[in-house]
Amino acid sequence: MPSSEYPPLQMPTFFILLSLAEGKKHGYAILKDVPLISNGRVKLGTGTLYGALSRLLDQGLITQVPDDAPLSPDEVEGAVDGRPRRLYALTQSGWRAVEAEAHRLEGMLSAARARLGVERP
């Protein structure tokens, strides 16, 4: 789908989807990954993350997938009441949305560089 069919994403949403582009993840792994891939620009609280995940599920941009694998020690640390955590993955629509946002941002950067006279490295 053309990028115009997807509205611009808020920065936290973009980085959540970008985190999932690497592969399926639990919420705790996303929570730890987003500050890394955003160079510290986005730090999510658990309420913000799980609210965003709920919206992304409702929008069909992500899906929950079964996880029969045992939790790693790092994942156990983030588990709630010893319950297994949910595993999330991008849907095809999620892929298209994050790609559309990346293209939109690339276009903005290109326009800014042209206006500022900065050559692209």
Nearest to 56 by CA among 7, 90, 18: 90
Q: What is the mean pLDDT of each run of 10 residues along the chain (121 residues)?
A: 73 97 95 96 94 97 82 54 78 97 94 83 59
Residue-level pLDDT at 84: 63
Where are the domains positioned within the chain?
A: 7-116
The CATH number of 7-116 is 1.10.10.10
What pTM was computed for the model? 0.80
Buried b (16+ CB within 10 A) or exposed e, 43-60: ebeeeebeebbeebeeee
Residue-level pLDDT at 66: 83
**C-alpha 100, offset from chain centre:** 13
Residue-level pLDDT at 1: 41
Query: Max Cα separation, the chain?
Result: 55
Residue-level pLDDT at 76: 53
Residue-level pLDDT at 44: 94
Q: Whole-angstrom Cα distance, residue 53 to residue 34?
A: 13
Nearest to 59 by CA among 85, 11, 97: 97
